[in-house]
Structure 1
Amino acid sequence: MSLYSIKMRASTNQTHISGAEKIIPYDQIGPFVNQLVQRGMHHPKGNPDSLNLKIETIDERDILYIEALPVRTIEVGSCRDGIEEIRKFLLSLGLAHPDNILRFLSETYAMRGAILLDVDTLERLEPDGKRGVRATYMDADRTSGGPSGNGKDHYAEAIVLATKVAHAPNLIGEICISDDPDYVTGYVASKTTGYTRITKMKELGSENGGRIFLYRGRREDVAKTISFLEKQPVIVRNIQPLEVPTHAIDKFSFIDAALQEMQEAHLYRSLKTVQSAQSSTVQSHGREMIMMASNSYLDMSRVEEVRDYAAYALKKYGTGSGGSRLTTGNTILHEMLENKIAEFKHTEAALVFNTGYVANLATISALMEKPDIIFSDELNHASIIDGCRLSGAKTVIYRHNDMRDLEEKILANPCHKGLIVSDAVFSMDGDIVNLPQLVQIADRYHLLSMVDEAHATGVIGKTGGGIVEHYHNTYRPDIVMGTLSKAIGSEGGFVCGRKNLIDYLRNKARGFIFSTSLSPVTMAASYKALEFIEKNPQRVTDLQNNVQFFCDCLRQRGLPVSSDTGIIPIIIGDEEKALQVSQELFNRGYYISAIRYPTVKRGSARLRIALMATHTQDQLQRAASAIVQILKEKEVLPW
């Protein structure tokens, strides 16, 4: 009697994303083909551009029937604990140096198959190092109440694979971490220990997964092992049903484990309470402090006429807007503010969003979709990164502010419709995008250009006009995004550009359409703040002068820093030391934040100093002295 092997392989851009196989009788081919196609076409790692099916006959007499490995589950609270269980497994196999084997895991992430590793010499034995060795021609026995095969069953498929691998000649064990971003459970297996599920071996969302087959034997027997894995048909009998432990499980144990990991790595965040208006000095924890961490660069929330106009709006319009802008939440103040933003930015129109984060998220996802390509600076803000992800478009990362690399990436990734997006002022380093070259490249290749001016509006340019004014109004991106919550001192985000762009976003940007609009009070404060900046450009000059004065103070004390924006980073590197310096500054009356991973790369923790137009020179001199003194006391010498 003949059975049939069906294999499905799905890939995108020649990168493997999904695979499965079955061994079934003829009359079940149709239903299983349909199931495997649906599975391959809808995978968490993306939709494929290529899907292959292979159907072969198998003589039932050639099939090896094997009893499934016994199963046990080890519950762990973190992926670090999961890796520790792998280490214990390797020790149980008599392998004295498990870390030498664990180092090979990262080499498996881009492979379709597994590493075949000689555990004694630590040599990789697979003939094709990119493809690896793949165990194929296998399935579960469905004749005795086993898995039906309808849909994806991680557990049953893993046991089938592990059982076949465990019975391969010269293999003493296997390590497996799934590359499915929605599945964090992995396993270790061997004939002697059985199949051990480990409930967490990576973080949710990670595509880093792979397999290592542990080989112990003669070199001349490697071919026999590979032949068994790749050619011997196997059906696995009597797979134990997955049992959920009957004892009480703390559903939130993963949260406690994650918090503990963050604390141990000095990445845990806690809140400090401010008990006064956001200004150059604040009340915090019962004392007056010099605020040097706020993005309220122009100290607008303390300007009397801004506060008076907000109070007027509160009295006339009340506290809330009552609905989305497209239903009941649109007031004359919303429209006045958008006209003022467009006038301030010298564009045809503008649209206000509830936050700068939402503005980026909604705009990018409305403009770009799956066939498109987005070219994004590697240091862009998280809201840009998340907007790219939400759009479904392919995102190509170019080196920070490297226009040559950007152009090379564009040439290597041609597209019908695309977008170049960058911060104007980068929020953690304070440097400025090379706008002239970015715009020229975008126009040359017919790509949209978008710049996030969250830390540029009110900060750079002679009158605070932002990135375009900074470059003497010569180059203008197609899309300008910004916030009202930083130099403007209020709340919200905005996008401005051509009128048809704004009409499009008003009708397509989900973050605009489905959000209750901001309060008229907020609109009034933003409107009056922009009006104040237009009438009082000296406020911007004061900020820019303070930045240069403070940098001079630090340089005079031996700390080589410079900045042309309101952000002055002092790189420390170590997360724990950055926290210590920040806390000591706080103890002495200076509110300066320590910025750590994941906001910045690991090992690049820093003090992020943000200045205001209203800081006095005496405050800045005293702060500079305190910073340098504490850095020396803590033996942190970034210079």
Structure 2
Amino acid sequence: MLNDFAEQRKQLREQLRARESKDLYRRRLTLESPQQTHVLMAGREYLAFCSNDYLGLANHPQLIEAVCEGARQYGVGAGASHLITGHSSVHHALEEALAHFTGFPRTLLFSTGYMANAGVITALLDRRDTIFADKLNHASLNDAALISRARFVRYSHLDLASLERQLAVCQTRRKLVMTDAVFSMDGDIAPVTQLLALCEKYDAWLMLDDAHGFGVLGSKGRGTVSHFDTSSPRIIYMATLGKAAGVFGAFIAAQPEVIETLIQHARSYVYTTATPPLLSHTLLKSLVLIEEEEWRRERLTQLVACLKREVQSLRWRLLPSITPIQPLIIGENDKALEISEALRAQGILVPAIRPPTVPQGAARLRISLSASHTMDDVAELGSALREMDRSAVAPAY
């Protein structure tokens, strides 16, 4: 038995070495400062284009004060699950505020977006049902579909004709179309209006994962549903609270019967400790900032336009995106890593994203913009990339 265990450990080491040889090995960065556009690592300051803190709220002084105030009022930990004694009045207040903000009848808080997606899909669907998923959906949606044991059908990215063909022949009890609202690695936006029309035609639910649209898109940052000015009782809406909102957590917005079903059956809600109430207290302040400070979204629009100008002469191309997610396609894994590391040597952090997160041959720099960036920050990045292009750091893609 000892020899068998030693062999298993050896196999793990070999798998890790193989991953490293393909330039797919991931290593963590360790920040020594708050999350902001200029961060500290190993005593050195870097200009960072890595964060999903799109509105620049993660280190906002009003949110820091709200955390302290929330801790004094509610303590540190929730101490129990929501269905025992962990559901605080401030959790409830945040759910009501989120429902009002998004325009849905009710919302339900979850600890993470991953847990929210898992909770919804496994509570509402099983082997009698069918899930239709865009091939570029986030891993949390795919994992949830597999756990649910529903029939899992994937359609090519944004290929609505293929989706309609699949929906037209489906005869299962329930049908759910699920998609990223803003795709996390490409930055493009799902055609919500057309997807909803298909769901209405073929009697399906529509689940939108708006992790990267909430706070950024739509009127007052209300998200992708607002961006398309649409609504329907068929929509199940998920958004995270640790990206544009700057804090932590996630929520589902939907019809009352859906929310009640989740409270009763969503295992990732029922069987976990509630998030600290102080976070909900802080998120109430975050919602106010999101709604009132329109300049943050205006700044993002200006920064996106500035970045496009800065990189237009490069051999590498930006994917079309109006969101703060601006992917610069490099192609080969090793070259994407090489450029990312060269930027880091100059004090600029931009992550290299490689398969399996993105398709083979589509390794990229994922440039994430924040309302806290300045035009000079973007110009510095553009200048560094142009210099690398002239130096032929990587071949043309």
TM-score, normalised relative to structure 2: 0.95
- In the TM superposition, residue 285 of structure 1 has moved relative to its aligned partner by 2.2
Say which structure is richer in helix: 2
Counterpart check, 1:359 vs 2:116: yes
| Consecutive aligned runs of 4 or more in structure 1 exceeding 4 Å deviation | 244-248, 474-477, 556-560
Cα distance between partner residues in 1 of 2:333 and 2:80: 43
Cα distance between partner residues in 2 of 1:484 and 1:518: 12
- In the TM superposition, residue 638 of structure 1 has moved relative to its aligned partner by 4.8
Highest CA radius of gyration, 1 or 2?
A: 1
Which of the numbers 320, 324, 328 marks the counterpart of 1:566? 324
Cα distance between partner residues in 1 of 2:184 and 2:234: 19
Cα distance between partner residues in 1 of 2:39 and 2:369: 14
Aligned to 2:338: 580
Letter of the 1:489 partner, please give it. Answer: G
Letter of the 1:585 partner, please give it. Answer: L
Counterpart check, 1:485 vs 2:249: no
- In the TM superposition, residue 546 of structure 1 has moved relative to its aligned partner by 1.4
Instruction: Please list, as runs of the form range in 1=range in 2, the aligned pairs for 1:463-474 lying within 5 A after superposition.
Output: 463-473=220-230
The unaligned stretches of length 5 or more in structure 1 are 1-243
Q: Deviations over 1:102-145 (max 9, x none)?
A: xxxxxxxxxxxxxxxxxxxxxxxxxxxxxxxxxxxxxxxxxxxx
Aligned to 1:555: 312
**Conserved? CA contact 2:214–2:239, under 8 Å:** yes
Aligned to 2:99: 342
Cα distance between partner residues in 2 of 1:373 and 1:352: 26
Cα distance between partner residues in 2 of 1:290 and 1:500: 46
Aligned residue for 2:328, secondary structure, equals: strand
Instruction: Please list, as runs of the form range in 1=range in 2, the aligned pairs for 1:108-507 lying within 5 A after superposition.
Output: 249-473=6-230, 478-507=235-264
- In the TM superposition, residue 634 of structure 1 has moved relative to its aligned partner by 4.3
Cα distance between partner residues in 1 of 2:96 and 2:372: 28
Counterpart check, 1:597 vs 2:355: yes
- In the TM superposition, residue 290 of structure 1 has moved relative to its aligned partner by 1.1
Q: 1:245 to 1:369 in 2, by over 3 A?
A: same
Cα distance between partner residues in 1 of 2:2 and 2:100: 64
Cα distance between partner residues in 1 of 2:166 and 2:358: 24
Cα distance between partner residues in 1 of 2:396 and 2:219: 32
Letter of the 1:543 partner, please give it. Answer: L
- In the TM superposition, residue 473 of structure 1 has moved relative to its aligned partner by 3.7
- In the TM superposition, residue 534 of structure 1 has moved relative to its aligned partner by 1.1
Cα distance between partner residues in 2 of 1:475 and 1:290: 42
Cα distance between partner residues in 2 of 1:520 and 1:431: 34
Aligned to 1:536: 293
Aligned residue for 1:315, secondary structure, equals: helix
Letter of the 1:284 partner, please give it. Answer: M
Aligned to 2:368: 610
- In the TM superposition, residue 519 of structure 1 has moved relative to its aligned partner by 0.8
Say which structure is richer in strand: 1
Aligned residue for 2:65, secondary structure, equals: helix
- In the TM superposition, residue 589 of structure 1 has moved relative to its aligned partner by 1.1
Letter of the 2:28 partner, please give it. Answer: L
Cα distance between partner residues in 2 of 1:312 and 1:369: 43
Aligned to 1:514: 271
Identity of aligned residues (%): 34
Letter of the 1:604 partner, please give it. Answer: A
- In the TM superposition, residue 394 of structure 1 has moved relative to its aligned partner by 0.3
Cα distance between partner residues in 1 of 2:12 and 2:164: 43
Counterpart check, 1:626 vs 2:381: no
Q: 1:469 to 1:308 in 2, by over 3 A?
A: same
**Conserved? CA contact 1:557–1:625, under 8 Å:** no
Cα distance between partner residues in 2 of 1:476 and 1:513: 24
**Conserved? CA contact 1:548–1:563, under 8 Å:** no
TM-score, normalised relative to structure 1: 0.60
- In the TM superposition, residue 635 of structure 1 has moved relative to its aligned partner by 3.9
Q: 1:507 to 1:558 in 2, by over 3 A?
A: same
Q: 1:327 to 1:583 in 2, by over 3 A?
A: same
**Conserved? CA contact 1:551–1:563, under 8 Å:** no
Aligned residue for 1:386, secondary structure, equals: helix
Q: Deviations over 1:136-184 (max 9, x none)?
A: xxxxxxxxxxxxxxxxxxxxxxxxxxxxxxxxxxxxxxxxxxxxxxxxx
**Conserved? CA contact 1:581–1:631, under 8 Å:** no
Q: Which moved more, 1:524-533 or 1:623-632?
A: 623-632
Cα distance between partner residues in 1 of 2:186 and 2:4: 50
**Conserved? CA contact 1:507–1:513, under 8 Å:** yes
Aligned residue for 1:327, secondary structure, equals: helix
**Conserved? CA contact 2:66–2:281, under 8 Å:** yes
Q: 1:253 to 1:496 in 2, by over 3 A?
A: same
Cα distance between partner residues in 2 of 1:570 and 1:369: 39
- In the TM superposition, residue 415 of structure 1 has moved relative to its aligned partner by 2.1
Q: 1:248 to 1:408 in 2, by over 3 A?
A: closer
- In the TM superposition, residue 601 of structure 1 has moved relative to its aligned partner by 1.8
Cα distance between partner residues in 2 of 1:247 and 1:418: 45
Aligned to 1:119: none
Cα distance between partner residues in 2 of 1:619 and 1:365: 43
Letter of the 1:488 partner, please give it. Answer: A
Q: 1:474 to 1:363 in 2, by over 3 A?
A: closer
RMSD: 1.8
- In the TM superposition, residue 250 of structure 1 has moved relative to its aligned partner by 4.0
Aligned residue for 1:608, secondary structure, equals: strand
Q: 1:515 to 1:375 in 2, by over 3 A?
A: same
Letter of the 1:498 partner, please give it. Answer: Q
Aligned residue for 1:326, secondary structure, equals: helix
**Conserved? CA contact 1:451–1:477, under 8 Å:** no
**Conserved? CA contact 1:429–1:569, under 8 Å:** yes
- In the TM superposition, residue 637 of structure 1 has moved relative to its aligned partner by 4.7
